[in-house]
Amino acid sequence: MKKVVKFGGSSLSGADQFIKVKEIIDLDKARRYVVPSAPGKRDGKDTKVTDLLYEAYALASRDKDFSRVFKKIEDRYNSIIEGLGLEISLADEFRTIKKNFKQKTGEDYAASRGEYLNGLLLADYLKYTFVDAAEVVFFDDDGNFDSAKTYKVMHERLEDVERAVIPGFYGSYSDGRIKTFSRGGSDITGSIVARSVKADVYENWTDVSGFFVADPRIITDPETIEMITYTELRELAYMGASVLHEDAIFPVRREGIPINIRNTNKPEDKGSWIVQSTGQKSKFIITGITGKKGFCSVNIEKDKMNSEVGFGRRVLQAFEDNDISFEHMPSGIDTMTIIVHQDEFMEKEQSVVSEINRLTHPDSIDIESDLALIAVVGRGMKSSKGTSGRIFSALAHANVNVKMIDQGSSELNIIIGVKNEDFENAIRAIYNIFVLARL
């Protein structure tokens, strides 16, 4: 068996965490390829190394003295070296980075050095081969990930390497300049490595024991999702759930490689499995509940709207012409509602309304702001009767008024619109009826 293991910033924040990581890797010899993040916060008052690098480079780019900030970065890595009793020295690396900062090599280069340096330390500590991500992860001249070149080069580079550390978060352009992924870039790197080496499992180690059915900031001690499909995860991630960056799904999804989300501080926990498909029934009818605030609805009414060819297209054209994307579009015989992000829409509100009037001549247009959208997701809903009814009943008992409901044809998710002020109560009500009461 062959496993790729990615460790997040909190998992590698200090020497004590490095020790935990090595113990985890040593427990399973199949854990052959390791993708580290930069050191994260050691406590609530601490600063992530990546943030320190951004701060130092911002000073350097303005020709300001960045030595004080850079000293903090050096101290972080030297404390790890001392704590682990390593003989490696990063002095030459620090000199090179400072030289490149002064030469204004770029913000992406600066941000990537956290993973690069952590990768050097972890490879030395584990006695694994270090492979610089800049040599195996590539971007085209427009800054888009070059999957074909990356998979070919990385596969060839790692084919004869038994055990390796490949830093996450960055790669390079064809001219060698460093380019970083967006937020969650180390997750993406881990997924790319897993696909390149044709891994059996991609383990993503973080500071939580998998995905929760609901946000722990709203629900006290929520249940963990034991198994979730890629499709369910996409629905939850799109609506705000975060543990794994959604772009990290695609490379492994194509190869059917399962992802296991694990907790570095509780390695005995089984965590959550993300799989292509499964015949296993979920523990509850629903898999997860998530959502976001800050939407508004544009409700358009017109008699016999349904018989007017092209009506919907013309409504959407008004939004497109104003460079506004829509989230959902529930409709009736004589009504059509467009759900959009409030902050994106409000400054162009009257321009959109004027164009809808000009293009469609509606009977009325009504706009409602301060809405929240809640996604109830689960493969078990398809085979369960009365799911929507139970949701409505739970919300009614919680005195939450439903402003909108939209269900996809896959029966995998139900989107509910409520007022921003009812968002948390609605999440609790839905969680209580499906998870606590198990109805």
In angstroms, the CA 235 to CA 416 distance is 14
State yes or no: pLDDT of 50 exceeds 70.
yes
In angstroms, the CA 248 to CA 232 distance is 14
In angstroms, the CA 125 to CA 99 distance is 27
Please give the domain boundaries of the chain with CATH numbers for all domains.
Answer: 3-207 (3.40.1160.10), 288-436 (3.30.2130.10)
**If 0-12 CB within 10 Å is exposed, 13-18 middle and 19+ buried, where does residue 105 land?**
middle
Residues with Cβ within 8 Å of residue 196, at least 6 apart in sequence: 136, 150, 151, 154, 155, 158
Binned at pLDDT 50, 70 and 90, residue 234 comes out as confident
pLDDT at site 419: 96
Contact 417, 404 (CB under 8 A): yes
State yes or no: pLDDT of 243 exceeds 90.
no
In angstroms, the CA 291 to CA 236 distance is 8
pLDDT, one tens digit per residue, over 57-93 is 999 999 999 999 999 999 999 999 999 999 999 999 9
Helix (H) or strand (E) holding 92: helix 91-102
pLDDT at site 204: 95
Q: How many helices (H) and strands (E) does the chain have?
A: 14, 15
State yes or no: pLDDT of 95 exceeds 90.
yes
Q: Any bridge partners for residue 341, and if so which?
A: 295
Q: Which amino acid is at 373?
A: L
Residues with Cβ within 8 Å of residue 242, at least 6 apart in sequence: none
- Between 243 and 142, residue with greater pLDDT: 142
Contact 209, 54 (CB under 8 A): no
In angstroms, the CA 118 to CA 168 distance is 10
pLDDT at site 430: 95
In angstroms, the CA 71 to CA 203 distance is 33
How does the average pLDDT of the chain come out, rounded?
A: 93
DSSP 14-46: SHHHHHHHHHHHHH-TTEEEEEE-----SSTT-
In angstroms, the CA 24 to CA 73 distance is 26
pLDDT, one tens digit per residue, over 161-220 is 999 999 999 999 999 999 999 866 889 999 999 999 999 999 999 998 988 999 999 999
pLDDT, one tens digit per residue, over 323-363 is 999 988 888 889 999 999 999 999 999 999 999 999 999 99
In angstroms, the CA 155 to CA 161 distance is 10
State yes or no: pLDDT of 279 exceeds 80.
no
State yes or no: pLDDT of 259 exceeds 90.
yes
DSSP letter, residue 208: S
In angstroms, the CA 77 to CA 39 distance is 9
pLDDT at site 230: 86
Residues with Cβ within 8 Å of residue 383, at least 6 apart in sequence: none
State yes or no: pLDDT of 238 exceeds 90.
no
DSSP letter, residue 181: -
Among residues of the chain, what percentage have pLDDT more than 70?
A: 97
> Would strands 164-165 and 129-130 be described as parallel, antiparallel, or unpaired?
parallel
In angstroms, the CA 108 to CA 351 distance is 38
Residues with Cβ within 8 Å of residue 307, at least 6 apart in sequence: none
Beta-carbon count within 10 A of 359 CB: 17
In angstroms, the CA 35 to CA 153 distance is 17
Helix (H, G, I), strand (E, B) or coil at 54: helix
